[in-house]
Structure 1
């Protein structure tokens, strides 16, 4: 739990603390509520298990004792566990070193000998780890070929590209060394899904919210919630057994690479994968407290089409949660049930082409602005069933990794999505959603960057009128008034300004207007 909140807070990278006090207050209430319900609801079952508990059960019972044990005699605001989790969160949010945390614990133990405090960082970390919300480290190929898992867990090099599993210096790279052990070249962080879903129902307040889409949603044929959409309703019809228990979890998948802490001069980005829980009311399922950090894919660059390599552990767990389920305690009904989860759709910032799909759109006849031809082909079908996608992909073989050739002569596709390994993905009617806000932001950045002739940022092409774009126009044989010109320097090209390019005075005027613009509060 602390790791989830810590990771989500630290990954924002915008200099804000995400309202730390509010986060701490919510966490304290959540922790106390979770363990109060578990203690009160499972007393008879706990007594039976105590006759022969395993190691994991012993740790959990110890957490129950810490959860209801006062930090010091008479303390009603903090328990041992809640106080420890909040200290650990503060350490992560503020970047305290392990030694500084140890020093703080020693000072507190001396100053408050009557309090039951963790004696060191190791002690506090062990308590938090026992919550069962830690993550797994999985070594990955630096060329995005494969993961070191299952039968390849002990390999020293990647069977696809033959790259070493460990970091090598320049001399070792030249010699083609294969080390027995060292620092991994690339590490994927995976946060298991099942324990995080279980914790949602162990808190009575959250467990009630997890059935909001069925019990409290206004059902008046208006779109208030994703459950009002046709995709959700069709999923219920296609999978009635899953829909019969409205506690079963509906998830959405989103990812986007970003530069940590907005240091745009760095040639590095990471790609977090986040799962949204759509059982919750609409004012909660987008709150970071209720989003599940699933994967942190390391850089230095975005995995792109090779992201499927890193999604393997998540897909395996989603398949298991669909077919087998997860034994979960419901604090509201005081019962243990088999919780199942399904991925309804993904969310991406891929730009849509719906405008030009319209048969009467004037762009279809604008030969000069495009490739010189009139577009007469009909628009693609509004729905493209998963069965047809799989039929078109029959015989397709995925090849992942930077060293693999992505060209396909037989197929127009670049890969067969790993999501089709999910038993129900083929029947989903809305497999991919568009992040409209992200698309609008990217388009705005590109338009402004092109108008103001902003130099291309590191890895983010904000200026679309560059040398590569001019080469594209040259290859297409259009816009001949914008040719590339050779220079004495063979590696450089010059190109004339386009009609939309602004002069220095026009740029200054434009920026002054934007700076002086005033908008209603909350509208910009």
Structure 2
């Protein structure tokens, strides 16, 4: 094709590119009425208004989808999407993008215009001690219950894992596994499948039953018989300890049921370091 100046234009029959198609689609949706005869809202303006309400009032995605379904059921002729995903596909071409940044507790990255990317060489601020943090939180209605522990305010890093409670969890797992306490043992079917997936301890792999509806597992080396469990519990229950030195352990040992429940963190520490090896040795012998 030539114009009056004699210049040749190529590919004039090619349609608009992808960006132009997005623009024309938004123009069409902006002209489309919300429902026949509606002059206050177009389909696009109503969706934008509704999406703004979602952002301002913190409506969840599922709640927003349910709201769209309710509007569609109440007004069948309304030109509205029926899900949050469909809504995003409509308004994503408006250019309302966002950028994720790492939020700092001191709000330093919220003022990113003044951030030049230079390395900070000044000495960092002195961190607050646990006592100073406790003083700042004095009078607060909601604060971490761990501050009620006598030693918690002296921890350099209070968000670190608490060794005392970790030790009790380990003691729970060991005793629960040795005595095969329901809900406490770590030797269960899922653990056996893990062994099978890792390709180790083939003798402990689960075996499918004949009917194919269940699995059978072999006893492990640490499994105790009822007699061994009885001896194990009696060693802990009959241990003679000085007053105040975990002397209450005996009341938490239920020999008839083969369980040890309700003991405290200090009791768990004493069991792990002093009593466990004697109880295991006695039950094995």
**Shorter-chain-normalised TM-score: which range?**
0.3 to 0.5
User: When you count strand as a share of all residues, which structure comes out higher?
Assistant: 1
Higher helix share: 2
| Larger RCO, structure (CA 8 Å, separation 6 or more) | 1
Q: Give the TM-score normalised by structure 2.
A: 0.36
